[in-house]
Amino acid sequence: MVKILEVDSQSPQVEAIAEAATTIRTGGLVVYPTETVYGLGTDACSNEAVTKVFATKTRPLEDPIPVAVNSFELANRIAELTPIAELAFKKFLPGPLTLVVKAKPGKISELVTAGTENVGIRVPDHPVALKLIEFVGGPITATSANLSGKPAPISLRGALEQLGEHVDVALDSGKCKLGKPSTVLDLSSDPPRILREGPISERELSRILK
C-alpha cells in the first residue's frame, strides 16, 4: 500500500523528503509534485528501477522517459550541453521546459533514452521536487504520474487513482500550479524543434533559437 506523506510546498518537511529519497535510492517508486503536474520518480540510473516505471505506466519501451535534475552541474554530468542548451537552461530553468539533448554514455539508464541516445532534461520549479532530487543525489525520472495515454494528474488523488497500487511513497503538496505538462524543446536536431508546446510558448523560445 502506498504511503502518503504531506509536504508543504514552500517549506518541505525534511523527514518526508528523506524517506521518499531513500525509497528512490533503493529502487522504489515515488509520486512527487512539480509546478506542472505530478511526476513518477525513481532512480534514473537504474535499469531495474526504470523498468518499473515503464511497467507501472504501461508505457511502450520505445518511448523515452525524461529525467529531472536540480542543477546545471548535474545536467552536465549526464548530458552533452551545447551552447544553445546552456542558454536555454540559464534562461528558463528551473521552469516548465524539458530540453532534449544528447546523453553521455553510461551516466543514466539506457532504458531512459529508449535507444535514441538522447535524454529529456527538466528542472522542476518546485521546492519539494528540487529537495527530493538533492536528497537522492542524482537524476530521477520525470515522467507524469499517469497511465500512458491518460490525462496527466494535477493532484495527488488523480495520480493515485491511476497508479496507486504500484507506488511505494507519495508526496502530497496540493494541486500543481500550472496544471499542464512542460514544453519540450528538442536540441538534438538541427534546427531545434518544439515537440510539445506547454507553458513556455514558441514565441518565448524563439528569442534564444534565433
Digit-coded pLDDT (tens) for 77-114: 999 999 999 999 999 999 999 999 999 999 999 999 99
Q: Is the pLDDT of residue 13 over 80?
A: yes
Report the distance separating Cα 136 and Cα 161, nearest Å.
Answer: 26
What's the pLDDT tens digit per position in 18-74? 999 999 999 999 999 999 999 999 999 999 999 999 999 999 999 999 999 999 999
Q: What is the CATH number of domain 3-209?
A: 3.90.870.10
Say what the pLDDT of residue 45 is.
Answer: 98
What's the pLDDT tens digit per position in 127-160? 999 999 999 999 999 999 999 999 999 999 999 9
Say what the pLDDT of residue 208 is.
Answer: 85
Say what the pLDDT of residue 51 is.
Answer: 98
Say what the pLDDT of residue 202 is.
Answer: 93
Say what the pLDDT of residue 207 is.
Answer: 85
Say what the pLDDT of residue 52 is.
Answer: 98
| Domain edges within the chain | 3-209
The DSSP bridge partners found for residue 68 are: 122, 140
Say what the pLDDT of residue 141 is.
Answer: 98
Q: How far is CA 177 from CA 16, 83, 209, in A?
A: 21, 30, 27
Q: How far is CA 97 from CA 89, 161, 183, in A?
A: 9, 26, 5
Q: Is the pLDDT of residue 210 over 80?
A: no
